Amino acid sequence: MPHLSIQYSPQLDQSHDIRALCEQLGEVMVETGVFPRAGVRVRAFPAHHEFVADGHPDNAFVAMQAYVGAGRSLEDKQGAGSAIYAVAEAFFADRLAGGHFLLSFEIFENDPALSWKRNTILPRLKAAADSG
């Protein structure tokens, strides 16, 4: 963990490199020192069917949700959240300067009793770091 999911208006694909956004967000997640690289996942999904606010055709949105494992302090989560949000704000600065854009971000903490996972990437990265 963390897993960051992004839902967004599909017209943003015409004006913004969403893959680059995913990469930038993934990097800042690691740079915060709160999240291990092997656990970071960033994925984005265009909302092919949407209605935003008043239905104006120029309206667009980006809704980001991060799911994190339990055990981090509130301060760590808030600091990481602020850093992640700042990257998204900078990425969409042009859209935020207009009157047709919504940007949101929330962090949710998973209950370990209700979370199942298996990660084979972590041992591989650890072995590579130990040998090199």
**pLDDT at residue 91, as a whole number:** 99
**pLDDT at residue 126, as a whole number:** 86
**Domain limits for position 78:** 3-131
Least confident residue range of 42-56, 85-99, 117-131: 117-131
Number of domains in the chain: 1
**pLDDT at residue 1, as a whole number:** 74
Distance CA(57)–CA(10), nearest Å, equals 12
Give 121's contacts (C-beta < 8 A, 6+ positions apart).
38
Give 37's contacts (C-beta < 8 A, 6+ positions apart).
30, 125
2 catalytically annotated: yes
And the tokens for 14?
A: 């015409």
* CATH code for the domain of 64: 3.30.429.10
Where would I find the H helices in the chain? Answer: 12-15, 18-31, 74-91, 93-96, 121-131
Out of 2, 10, 36, 46, pick the active-site residue. Answer: 2
pLDDT in tens, 85-101: 999 999 999 999 999 99
pTM of this structure: 0.88
